[in-house]
Amino acid sequence: MAASRVLEVAGREVTVTNPGKVVFPNRGTTKLDLVQYYLAVADGALRGIAGRPMILKRFVKGIDQEAFFQKRAPSKRPDWVDVVTLRYSSGTTADEVVVRDAAALAWVVNLGCIDLNPHPVRAEDLDRPDELRIDLDPNPGIEWKQILDVAFVAKEVLEDHGLTAWPKTSGSRGFHIYTRIDPQWKYRDVRLAAETVAREVENRAPRLATSRWWKEEREGVFVDFNQNAKDRTIASAYSVRPTPDARVSTPLSWEEAAESRPEDYTMTTVLERFADVGDPWEGIDGTGGSLDALLELAERLGPAEKPPKGTGRRQSTMPLVEIARAKTKQEALDGLERWKERHPSVVPLLEPADVLVDGMRGRSSLWYRIRINLQHVPEGERPPQEPLEVDYDPWAGTPFARDDH
């Protein structure tokens, strides 16, 4: 196996290390295949990331292992890879990568970035986003058709308020809707506008969608507005996701969206589709609109439910028990199975949405929490809170370590 492969990209030399390394075992897709995929769709992929700082989500041990999130650009990098300094609420700073061309795109993919996670701002103005992003996140058991129904309601809400809605699959269970905005508003205003979209979607389709913050209180499809908070990123257009079939977060036309199925869009099919029809989002640049109408609606709707502030412990209105806090999802799920084995009479009473699996952002990677909502279990039959099946502290060794051990 060759130790490296040098590609000529955009007039530059890009070295692909370990080009034969298998990234997607079920497909036999190698790192070189992944780089070449991104180069083939570079026109569309760059439309989503060019000029934006991005977090490097690196799968250095393959898709079966958790990625780690790297904010700071590697110190050893080509002089043609741009960076910009971001300041975080914690008081820290990070020089983050800014991809400008296909060569830099290939370079970040070679680092182990399977999907691309840019911020909604341009490097030239880090405080004023030019994108508002809606992430439709279905509860367990929700059918794809319901997600699409909610997507079309969100489209209607955005268009009713003077904005253009651009749909794409998430490459996972959900659906994304982007709208370009004029870079005139701070993050807090953009998040408020997105929250207002979510609330209005829920008002128009209360049986299908929810804007409720607390996960255990959600029913249907959560219209996730918090992806517009500062420091949040989501997978951009043409991002390959770490799924066994290498699904792609694929830009669509609304006509395509109505007939779409997420499993139809993989590295293989998207390459063919891009060659045949190009990028449905080709016209997205230059469509920025105003948030004034949404912010006026926010005033009419009044204050929304307040999100958690990270201090104190909220008392849930639902009967929750926590099962596991684990470094990996599989460890958490294994803990869940052990809990189920101890409480076999409870399991048949649980609805799919009663099992709450949360991917939580740690210092540099995700960790996983599992809780059970016992709302469908008669009060006298509800198991008490027990010691956690897995008790992982992602902040161990830091000033934020838990003191409950």
Instruction: List b or e across 123-145, with b for residues whose CB sees 16 or more CB atoms inside 10 angstroms.
Output: beebebbbbbbbbbbbbeebeee
Q: What is the pLDDT along the chain (405 residues), one digit of tens a residue?
A: 568 999 999 999 999 999 999 999 999 999 999 999 999 999 999 999 999 999 999 988 788 877 888 999 999 999 999 999 998 877 888 999 999 999 999 999 999 999 999 999 999 999 999 999 999 999 888 999 999 999 999 999 999 999 999 999 999 989 999 999 999 999 999 999 999 999 999 999 999 999 987 777 788 999 999 999 988 999 999 999 999 999 999 999 999 999 999 999 999 999 999 999 999 999 999 999 999 999 999 999 998 876 555 544 556 778 888 888 888 888 889 999 999 999 999 888 888 888 888 777 766 667 888 888 888 889 888 998 899 998 888 777 655 455 554
Q: Which of 65, 98, 125 is the last residue of a domain?
A: 125
Q: Verify that 281 and 183 share a domain, yes or no.
A: yes
Structural domain ending residue among the three candidates 243, 276, 307: 307
Whether 21 and 100 share a structural domain: yes
Contact in structure between 12 and 78 (CB atoms under 8 Å): yes
Q: What is the pLDDT of residue 311?
A: 47
Q: Are residues 38 and 90 in the same domain?
A: yes
> 186 and 121 in one domain?
no
In a domain, 37, yes or no: yes
Hey, what are 116's tokens?
């691309």
- Residue 324 domain-assigned? yes
pLDDT at site 318: 84
| Whether residues 161 and 267 fall in one domain | yes
Domain of residue 16, residue span:
4-125
- Give yes or no: residues 242 and 379 share one domain: no
Asked if residue 353 and residue 261 are part of one domain, the reply reads no
Beta strand spans in 247-384 (E)? 320-326, 355-361, 366-373
Chosen domain end from 242, 277, 307: 307
The residue count of the chain comes to: 405
Instruction: Note whether residue 160 is domain-resident.
Output: yes
In the chain, count of helices (H) and strands (E)?
Answer: 9, 18
**163 domain residue, yes or no:** yes
Same structural domain for residues 198 and 72? no
Q: 137 and 273: one domain? A: yes
What separation in angstroms does the CA of 112 have from each of 18, 105, 387? 11, 12, 37
Residues 191 and 280 in one domain: yes
Q: What values do phi and psi take at 215, rounded to 5?
A: -60, -40
**3 state SS of 208:** coil
117 and 134 inside one domain: no
What's the alpha-carbon Rg for the chain, to the nearest Å? 22
Question: Which one-letter amino acid corresponds to residue 34?
Answer: L
Which pTM value belongs to this model?
0.83
Contact 239, 161 (CB under 8 A): no
End-to-end CA distance of the chain: 48
Looking at the structure of the chain, the number of domains it has is 3
Answer yes or no: do 297 and 192 share one domain: yes
- Residue 132 in domain: yes
Residue 100 lies in a domain: yes
Count the neighbouring beta carbons within 10 Å of the beta carbon of residue 61: 11
Lookup result for tokens 């020089």: 95
Q: Is residue 276 part of a domain?
A: yes
CATH at 119: 3.90.920.10
